[in-house]
Structure 1
Amino acid sequence: MPCLEWLDPGTEERGWWEEEKKEGGVKWMQLEHRGPYFVPLYEPLPEDVQFYYDGKPFKLSLATEEIATFYAKMLDHEYTTKEVFQNNFFHDWRKEMTSEEQEIIKDLDKCDFREIHKYFVDKNEARKALPKEEKQKLKEEADKIQEEYGYCIMDGHREKIGNFKTEPPGLFRGRGEHPKMGMLKKRIMPEDVIINCSRDSKIPEPPEGHRWKEVRFDNTVTWLASWTENIQNTLKYIMLNPSSKLKGEKDWQKYEVARRLKDVVHTIRAQYRRDWKSKEIKKRQRAVALYFIDKLALRAGNEKEEGETADTVGCCSLRVEHIQLHPQLDGQEHVVEFDFLGKDSIRYYNKVSVEKQVFKNLQLFMKNKDPTEDLFDQLSTNFLNRHLQHLMDGLTAKVFRTYNASITLQEQLKALTNPEDNVAGKLLSYNRANRAVAILCNHQRSIPKTFARSMQVLQEKIDAKKKQVEEAQEELKKAEEEFKDKSDAKAEDNVEKKKKLLKRLEEQLAKLNIQATDKEENKQIALGTSKLNYLDPRISVACKCPVLLHLQLGTKQLELPEGREVLGQGRVLRHQRGLCRNRRFVPVEEDHQEVLQHLPTPQLPPGPGHLHLLLLPKLPVQPERVPGAPAGSPVRCWGSHSMRFFSFLMEGNGP
């Protein structure tokens, strides 16, 4: 049975922030891994599943059939209704056909993929309906692959790899109205892959009958393998998991740069305000663009090859057609109306009241220009970033986005958090603070297809819980009347039981109502992106820690040394392994599940013998930065990303 394994008190392993820093851009000294896991080769369709052309069954060659299945699987998707997708698919599909197939298959409208589509739908449903034993067998097979290919050895540490599988072949989708949607993503072969490892390591073996494109020994990069994908001719990498040492160090550096910006941001703002009146148009454009990047958290935007990607822009690449100027609008003066497609073809639409000089400059920049001309025609992202480097070492336009996201979270948490709220209320406040950041950064999502149904199910739970509360109120009323008549200990005990039941049901109802509110408010907002990439986790730690959590293992029992107990409560999330080697810390096994919840700061119980689950970030935090930490307890941590998963157990007085 899996259990918590207590470390030898004499065992201590340093965190990455305590290790000696490598010089000359060196990232590691030793790197060994198994290489990428290649997706299985295509298995042909059963004989009774056929493709039809012009109403007649037509036997396809194996390569042509495989590509046909890519399209068939997407028949119920919106993509296959788009002309660009259809044309790109058919063009690439015909290139892979035999000459005989090309002679016959000339019109996509005459192709019938419905039988193939039904086969895969039925296959998917059958997989869902597998008995528990079969699902467990599949899980064990996946775990075996994960164990073999999902880890590497770096400088003596066993590190988890993020995406250890090559991308399967399929049809390119892209974001928004991407001009290349529907094109064929070809299968990645070992001959396409560059392996990176250390010279003294065991070089991974390619699959039998194949060879690697190249083997490199470059310790100045962090990727383990790479290849060039055929759609946009860009490099794809196999990298370490977010819980790794290198990722932790990189994130720490990123947030430290953002923290340094806090000390100079007022000086920078004063300078770009002065530059609004510069005699050089180039400086004025740079100053206005920087104002937008700072105030609105816009991405800088990079130069792109025309026709290669969707028509997306950032601040520096805005065109005249993307903004409208309103001297007065909705009771506000000097309003700029933005409307453009940003990264991933997400629409950015915003009406913002700007300072008068910014408004006047925009009028100047737009004068005598066509709608398709650049708004900042004398500005480039490189020019802007070179200027920022002079203002602060390491400063780029992206740092402003990280800084403004983190400072917004900090300010929102101060404004929204109520110490008197219950757990669900505190989580709602945190999500609202997170939501403010997501709105600032324009992190949107389409409403999930299952949203209406899930809200209906939640409302049914709320209605059922209301009924239970009403019944409990009636039962309490009867118990109180019975106690008045009898006044004995049994009747009094019954009243107390009914009160406790009513209180518990009311708390459950309140929690369900908060869940419904939270779900409705965030149906079109993507909270995860900002948590993952823009929010310094130390802000959340400072606001919410220490957090006592309750480890729930379902039917499994948690084995603890005699005299230990687990305190706190919360909800279950899947656990992701993290490492924190210190005599006061205990690693959690992979197959455990860990609770992650924002709870009020607890009163730590006196005396030894209690096991505390303490929510920590992967960044080093000084003991005094964590309110309520037990005296003498070192606070060291290194784990997975931001506020997702944390896997540390902290005890009060050592094992």
Structure 2
Amino acid sequence: MLDHEYTTKEIFQNNFFHDWRKEMTSEEQEIIKDLDKCDFGEIHKYFVDKNEARKALPKEEKQKLKEEADKIQEEYGYCILDGHREKIGNFKTEPPGLFRGRGEHPKMGMLKKRIMPEDVIINCSKDSKIPEPPEGHKWKEVRFDNTVTWLASWTENIQNTLKYIMLNPSSKLKGEKDWEKYEVARRLKDVVHTIRAQYRKDWKSKEIKKRQRAVALYFIDKLALRAGNEKEEGETADTVGCCSLRVEHIQLHPQLDGQEHVVEFDFLGKDSIRYYNKVSVEKPVFKNLQLFMKNKDPSDDLFDHLNTTFLNKHLQDLMDGLTAKVFRTYNASITLQEQLKALTNPEDNVAGKLLSYNRANRAVAILCNHQRSIPKTFARSMQVLQEKIDAKKKQVEEAQEEVKKAEDEFKDTKDAKAEANVEKKKKLLKRLEEQLARMNIQATDKEENKQIALGTSKLNYLDPRITVAWCKKFGIPIERIYNKTQREKFAWAIDLAGEDFEF
């Protein structure tokens, strides 16, 4: 892990050293008292060399390893569900390691323990062959629960959360669940105007509880904020969502940067990812926030009369199956559809259209606050790409000169051979110019994406039928958007959506 920037962080180092000391013998504890005096260079080199050696294996050796992995996949990677052979998601438990978490997680650097058979609950049918635990071990429990979709579960030691082995996203069951999720979000489209009218009305309600609910709903709708469920006991990361915002998380500016009624948000959201945003809101919302903050300390709840249960109960009354999360799916999908309509130029080549798609996806990722830290390889890969662009520019310039030379020659000779040569040189120039344009688009895309995680919204919040319809309409190969695993996950959408699909 020494290559990663987070190992330089004080909290990572402190957590690691604290957990490592627990694993030391008393003699080691006497000797090793300061992490700064420890040198992990040798073991780091060992792993780097091992990795390099694996990459350098001859083709036959790699093929042998692949066959061994396929054999394991064949034995452990499938289950029988309702008589059908279905693929299992990730059937391997994580090996021990150091916890990273996302964002500035307070537990980063802690030691993830090895999962033992004694930690694992197996879930299977009564009449099935129960998997054998490794020799000398036994399972924590074997149960026969057909009301859940997990096959094995255990509790990990860092956040004390349950981990599961589930079906692969491409399984029939997962596909149906996915389809249902997007259909609920599509139904919201028909009632969203009524809901918006209702919460606007409730901004003026005599009941403070209703006012708070209405303002929170406005934020969930307009900013795609998460509702913010009550956290598990023992969760030390101070993360919040809309309903659990505190007074210290927002600042009100009657005027800011030429806009009126600006709310400045600054808090840690899910996975300790910072949410920072300045938004101009409607005047009644601003007035209500002033009221909610009156005579409160910074650590007091902003919405002190509200919780997610009360909010979701209200949403359920408005539309069957409606929860705060559905708004996020709805707003993400509708944003993608609108952005694709606005940005796609039918005259563009495939690379240009793909840039438009990524820009539309990026608008969604920004809405949902899907950030990532800049990849550590970013600067180097941009440099490599820039070098390729410069080399290609040089080739284009040389080709332009070649065309000019050929044209001059044709002017002098009016010879058919010289004319054919002009055409040949022009063709080459056109091809090089197209390659250069593609590279420039790639560089733009890379730069714009460096701090945005496009994958989360693409896999979890965007109705895949919008993407499939767009691909079919503009002749874009679906594999340019979804990789093999994603195509398996969204097989139902690829089959169902025609080019005229509307969310």
TM-score normalised according to structure 2 size? 0.89
Deviation at 1:240, TM superposition (A): 1.5
Contact 1:312 1:340 in 2 (8 A): yes
**2-structure distance, mates of 1:651, 1:426:** 16
Deviation at 1:111, TM superposition (A): 4.3
Deviation at 1:654, TM superposition (A): 28
Contact 2:123 2:145 in 1 (8 A): yes
Change (3 A) 1:132 1:393: same
Q: Of residues 244, 248, 251 in structure 2, which corresponds to 1:317?
A: 244
**2-structure distance, mates of 1:363, 1:650:** 49
Change (3 A) 1:109 1:584: closer
Task: Report the secondary structure of 2:197's partner residue.
Answer: helix
Check if 1:584 corresponds to 2:432: no
- Structure 1 stretch displaced more, 279-288 or 186-195: 186-195
- Structure 1 stretch displaced more, 325-334 or 98-107: 98-107
Relative contact order, higher structure (CA 8 A, sep 6+) = 1
Change (3 A) 1:516 1:76: closer
**2-structure distance, mates of 1:348, 1:529:** 16
> How many pairs align?
489
**2-structure distance, mates of 1:289, 1:475:** 65
- Structure 1 stretch displaced more, 417-426 or 170-179: 170-179
Contact 2:102 2:271 in 1 (8 A): yes
**1-structure distance, mates of 2:4, 2:333:** 37
**2-structure distance, mates of 1:372, 1:154:** 49
Change (3 A) 1:280 1:130: same
Deviation at 1:127, TM superposition (A): 2.9
Deviation at 1:110, TM superposition (A): 5.1
- Structure 1 stretch displaced more, 151-160 or 318-327: 151-160
Change (3 A) 1:181 1:263: same
Deviation at 1:470, TM superposition (A): 1.8
Change (3 A) 1:108 1:517: closer
Change (3 A) 1:648 1:449: farther
Q: Of residues 361, 367, 370 in structure 2, which corresponds to 1:440?
A: 367
Deviation at 1:512, TM superposition (A): 0.9
Q: Deviations over 1:90-127 (max 9, x none)?
A: 34333334455455555545544333233223333333
TM-score normalised according to structure 1 size? 0.69
Deviation at 1:652, TM superposition (A): 19
Contact 1:161 1:241 in 2 (8 A): yes
Contact 1:469 1:505 in 2 (8 A): yes
- Structure 1 stretch displaced more, 473-482 or 358-367: 473-482
- Which of the two has greater helix per residue? 2
Deviation at 1:513, TM superposition (A): 1.0
**2-structure distance, mates of 1:588, 1:427:** 11
Partner of 2:501: 653
Deviation at 1:316, TM superposition (A): 0.6
**1-structure distance, mates of 2:38, 2:500:** 68
Change (3 A) 1:456 1:83: closer
Contact 2:103 2:274 in 1 (8 A): no
Contact 1:588 1:647 in 2 (8 A): no
**2-structure distance, mates of 1:454, 1:337:** 35
- Structure 1 stretch displaced more, 414-423 or 129-138: 129-138
Task: Report the secondary structure of 1:220's partner residue.
Answer: coil
**2-structure distance, mates of 1:280, 1:588:** 51
Q: Deviations over 1:258-281 (max 9, x none)?
A: 000000000000111111011111
Contact 1:297 1:400 in 2 (8 A): yes
Q: Of residues 275, 282, 288 in structure 2, which corresponds to 1:348?
A: 275
**1-structure distance, mates of 2:92, 2:50:** 23
Q: Deviations over 1:556-611 (max 9, x none)?
A: xxxxxxxxxxxxxxxxxxxxxxxxxxx99999999xxxxxxxxxxxxxxxxxxxxx
Instruction: Mark the runs of 5 or more structure 2 residues left unpaired by the alignment.
Output: 481-490
Contact 2:90 2:168 in 1 (8 A): yes
Contact 1:584 1:654 in 2 (8 A): no
Change (3 A) 1:355 1:134: same
Contact 1:443 1:527 in 2 (8 A): yes
Change (3 A) 1:520 1:93: closer
Contact 2:466 2:501 in 1 (8 A): no
Change (3 A) 1:447 1:218: same
**2-structure distance, mates of 1:455, 1:245:** 41
Change (3 A) 1:178 1:648: same
- Structure 1 stretch displaced more, 361-370 or 476-485: 476-485
Change (3 A) 1:138 1:245: same
Q: Deviations over 1:528-582 (max 9, x none)?
A: 111000000111222xxxxxxxxxxxxxxxxxxxxxxxxxxxxxxxxxxxxxxxx
Contact 1:313 1:340 in 2 (8 A): yes
**2-structure distance, mates of 1:526, 1:654:** 25
Contact 1:196 1:216 in 2 (8 A): yes
- Structure 1 stretch displaced more, 414-423 or 400-409: 414-423
Contact 2:345 2:353 in 1 (8 A): yes
Partner of 1:75: 2
Task: Report the secondary structure of 2:479's partner residue.
Answer: coil
Q: CA RMSD in A?
A: 4.1
Change (3 A) 1:161 1:509: same
- Structure 1 stretch displaced more, 521-530 or 122-131: 122-131
Task: Report the secondary structure of 1:326's partner residue.
Answer: strand
**1-structure distance, mates of 2:232, 2:132:** 38
**1-structure distance, mates of 2:496, 2:276:** 42
Contact 1:438 1:525 in 2 (8 A): yes
- Structure 1 stretch displaced more, 307-316 or 89-98: 89-98
**1-structure distance, mates of 2:263, 2:352:** 36
**2-structure distance, mates of 1:308, 1:435:** 31
Contact 2:468 2:499 in 1 (8 A): no
**2-structure distance, mates of 1:80, 1:485:** 69
Contact 1:179 1:307 in 2 (8 A): no
- Structure 1 stretch displaced more, 208-217 or 120-129: 120-129
- Structure 1 stretch displaced more, 183-192 or 81-90: 81-90
Instruction: Mark the runs of 5 or more structure 1 residues left unpaired by the alignment.
Output: 1-73, 543-582, 591-636, 639-645
Check if 1:171 corresponds to 2:98: yes
**1-structure distance, mates of 2:156, 2:478:** 37
Contact 1:90 1:108 in 2 (8 A): yes
**1-structure distance, mates of 2:139, 2:106:** 32
Deviation at 1:144, TM superposition (A): 2.5
Partner of 1:617: none
Deviation at 1:476, TM superposition (A): 2.1
Q: Deviations over 1:219-246 (max 9, x none)?
A: 2211111111122221100111211111
Change (3 A) 1:482 1:329: same
Deviation at 1:166, TM superposition (A): 0.6
Change (3 A) 1:345 1:471: same
Contact 1:75 1:117 in 2 (8 A): yes
Q: Deviations over 1:169-228 (max 9, x none)?
A: 122222344333333221111121111222332222222222222222222211111111
